[in-house]
Amino acid sequence: MLVKKIEVRVTAVSTAETGFERITITEDNVMLFGDLNGDFVVTKDDAIMILQAINGRFELTEQQKLLVGIVDKPTLADVRTILALIGGN
């Protein structure tokens, strides 16, 4: 999970005409789809994590499942979803 500062700036076509500009700055948690190990990049390691979970080395957390769209148990198709994200191996 990555904490990111998010700035939303709404500006009229011409501030001279309307006389105002609205700027909203918030900080929020951003999750990267497929980043199971939380290193802020999606790599083969994330795909291997799912293979390891399939083999029963550990259980994926609910948040990790959410990051790949796993509803029940991890599958080989979930592994390929990550591989497709990174363009193969």
- DSSP secondary structure code for residue 51 in this structure: H
φ/ψ bin of 49: left (φ > 0), alpha (ψ from -120 to 50), beta (otherwise): alpha
Nearest to another protein of 1, 84 (CB atom): 84
For another protein, give the closer residue by CB, 12 or 49. 49
What angle in degrees, to the nearest 10, is found between the helix axes of 44-54 and 76-85?
Answer: 180
Query: Least distance (Å) from another protein to the CB of residue 44?
Result: 6
Interface contacts to another protein, rule CB under 8 A:
44, 47-48, 51-52, 54-57, 76-77, 79-80, 83-84, 88-89
Q: Which is nearer to another protein, 42 or 79 (CB)?
A: 79
* Token output for 46: 């994330």
Instruction: In whole angstroms, give the CA distance from residue 64 to residue 61.
Output: 5
In the complex, the smallest distance separating the C-beta of residue 9 from another protein, rounded to whole angstroms, is 40
Q: How far is the CB of 86 from another protein (least distance, A)?
A: 10
